[in-house]
Chain A
């Protein structure tokens, strides 16, 4: 219910409520975005665009389910669009994160920890559609039905992608341990 009240207050122009929503879901969405695209700059852009679009559409926005799941689906959609447009310009995450950690480069605005680098790196080796389902399910804690609805595909397709993705991820992570 807290989210509903925050949304209502946002609709009435409350900057404080909008800030609360941002602060509440910022880290969650950034981790999801990094996991989905393996690129901190793209992740940053996606979360930025989602919040700005959210503020823009507030007037007509009606919260029918979970705000967290709604924002997660928005981030996933935005990542998909951005990756389509910028696929050739992607900077590998390792390069990006280590640059930020080593030199504290002032332009770097997100720094990922080791676990996020590891999971993101492993997910990057999966096809886009499997990665998306796994990230939304494992990090987003979304139900298969909700994922299917947000992606516009059937529940069985989602479950199939998830199963294949998990299988591949297992071998990727195991091979990393063996190295």
Chain B
């Protein structure tokens, strides 16, 4: 081997493990000087993000191409129509616009909620997502069961609040007046922010798989601004009710003013009622201190920041006492799924782990221990997928080890290439674990077979091709002793593998 190659190899394999103490010190010191410099900052104009994008060489070429195409289209269609007003934003632009916002502020109104020990009422809640700085403050409801001595068991709904300051998350239970701190690992911090944005879009029924079927039905002026009104009807078979979701969207800047969900029962003459309403602001400035992870006065603290529970990516058993545990499920385009999992029987020293280690990317697992298939969920939200039933072919992608646990990363490719780029999040993810080889998979005899079925939205994170490194490799790094993902794992290789299966 040439000396330069040997040296390069040593550098490539070089690794440092850094304590969180050092991270905290460097980051905090850097934050302090950043804040000082911002306070004393001069008022000179800054370049904006658009200018930076436009200054990039690739963008210049792309812009030139766009101009040429635009001129050609303009010449051929000039006599037909001229859109002098520029782009008019439609409902399909909302996910992109709001995912790239600096902040999102949501005011929510719920009708007929009864909190524990209180009367039924209409409630307001307020959420803030600070996408730019990775912080959020959200509120919702949870169910608690109270059992005092010599008293009957009592259950009810309580208000729950989460405040995440970028490092610590505090969970406040307003019913029990208790607060608890969590410190998030780097990966969990990113995952947490990502889920906040996904959840926001899901709550307003605008996740990427739910965009079809909206119709512009009119216009309304609110605070001197024009808003297009978009509507979509849906029918919930489970709840035997019909819903209309209405959006007020500005065609000039894509601002979503409010969202309403109206509902009526299937009964004859069922009357429409407002189920909930959300008012939304994009890029509003959050109030001072809104993201401070502190408990309200007189609340009991279950722990402190110093003793905070560390929230990092770990594998959770798919049911109580199950041997098999899932760390993360990531859905890639074309219905390809990757899952990191472990099993109590597959320890780093076990023969099974040894045989997995010898596999290349795409290798067939020696004893196929996990099966995945996806079936349609609620037809009301994604009627085009009512017949969805995907069976996946499993192949080895990589393995990692951390804290005496062996993680297998399996790639699941649908037997047929599905046309959709993303799977509907309300489809069901069905997973069956076979710790031992089963001869008859349809009628398993082994007592350890574990099955779970869950909505994709609850169990998985859906990512785009360009996000593969951040999420798939990021998750592998988090569950790897040296904090690095295995080498040579790329989205292109996953796609090549899928294409081989589809052939």
B84 interface residue (CB < 8 Å to A):
no
Identity of the chain A residue whose Cβ is nearest the Cβ of B6 in the assembled complex: A173
Residues of chain A with a CB closer than 8 A to B7's CB: 119, 134, 138, 166, 169, 173
Asked if A27 and B16 sit within 8 Å, CB to CB, the answer is yes
Q: How many A-B residue pairs have CB under 8 A?
A: 139
B82 interface residue (CB < 8 Å to A):
no
Rounded to whole angstroms, the CA-CA distance of A19 and B29 in the bound complex is: 11
Given contact pairs A1-B52, A1-B53, A19-B27, enumerate 4 new A-B contacts (beta carbons under 8 Å): A35-B14, A110-B17, A111-B16, A166-B3
Asked if B31 and A8 sit within 8 Å, CB to CB, the answer is no
In the complex where A14-B132, A23-B186, A138-B7 touch, is A55 in contact with B30 (Cβ < 8 A)?
A: yes
Residues of chain B with a CB closer than 8 A to A144's CB: none
Rounded to whole angstroms, the CA-CA distance of A48 and B33 in the bound complex is: 12
Identity of the chain A residue whose Cβ is nearest the Cβ of B42 in the assembled complex: A59
Taking the nearest CB of chain B, how far is it from the CB of A121, in angstroms?
A: 10
Taking the nearest CB of chain B, how far is it from the CB of A17, in angstroms?
A: 8
CB contacts under 8 Å to B, within A117-157, are 118-119, 134, 138-139
Identity of the chain B residue whose Cβ is nearest the Cβ of A20 in the assembled complex: B134
A115 interface residue (CB < 8 Å to B):
yes
Question: CB-CB contacts of B126-148 with A at 8 A, as 1s and 0s?
Answer: 00000011110000000000000
Rounded to whole angstroms, the CA-CA distance of A70 and B4 in the bound complex is: 24
CB contacts under 8 Å to A, within B1-44, are 3-4, 6-8, 10-11, 13-19, 21-23, 25-27, 29-31, 33-38, 41-42
A-B contact pairs, 23 of them (CB 8 A): A4-B52, A8-B46, A8-B47, A11-B46, A13-B34, A14-B133, A23-B186, A27-B16, A27-B18, A31-B11, A35-B14, A47-B26, A51-B27, A52-B29, A55-B30, A55-B37, A56-B37, A108-B19, A110-B22, A115-B10, A118-B10, A173-B3, A173-B6
Residues of chain B with a CB closer than 8 A to A48's CB: 22, 25-26, 29
A12 interface residue (CB < 8 Å to B):
yes
Asked if B25 and A113 sit within 8 Å, CB to CB, the answer is no
B222 interface residue (CB < 8 Å to A):
no
Main secondary structure of the interface of A (DSSP, over half): helix
Asked if B34 and A22 sit within 8 Å, CB to CB, the answer is no
In the complex where A14-B133, A139-B11 touch, is A55 in contact with B17 (Cβ < 8 A)?
A: no
Rounded to whole angstroms, the CA-CA distance of A113 and B19 in the bound complex is: 14
Residues of chain B with a CB closer than 8 A to A47's CB: 26
Identity of the chain A residue whose Cβ is nearest the Cβ of B18 in the assembled complex: A110
Size bin of chain A's contact surface = 35 or more
Asked if B15 and A116 sit within 8 Å, CB to CB, the answer is yes
CB contacts under 8 Å to A, within B456-482, are 482
Residues of chain A with a CB closer than 8 A to B52's CB: 1, 4-5, 8
Asked if B38 and A13 sit within 8 Å, CB to CB, the answer is yes
Residues of chain A with a CB closer than 8 A to B49's CB: 5, 8
Residues of chain B with a CB closer than 8 A to A170's CB: 3
Residues of chain A with a CB closer than 8 A to B133's CB: 14-16
Question: CB-CB contacts of A40-72 with B at 8 A, as 1s and 0s?
Answer: 000010011001101110110000000000000
Rounded to whole angstroms, the CA-CA distance of A19 and B7 in the bound complex is: 31
Asked if A113 and B16 sit within 8 Å, CB to CB, the answer is yes
In the complex where A8-B52, A59-B41 touch, is A111 in contact with B33 (Cβ < 8 A)?
A: no
Q: A14, A30, A112, A169: which contacts B3 (Cβ < 8 A)?
A: A169
Residues of chain B with a CB closer than 8 A to A139's CB: 11, 14
Rounded to whole angstroms, the CA-CA distance of A4 and B49 in the bound complex is: 9
Taking the nearest CB of chain A, how far is it from the CB of B149, in angstroms?
A: 44
Taking the nearest CB of chain B, how far is it from the CB of A156, in angstroms?
A: 19
Q: A8, A26, A55, A113: which contacts B13 (Cβ < 8 A)?
A: A113
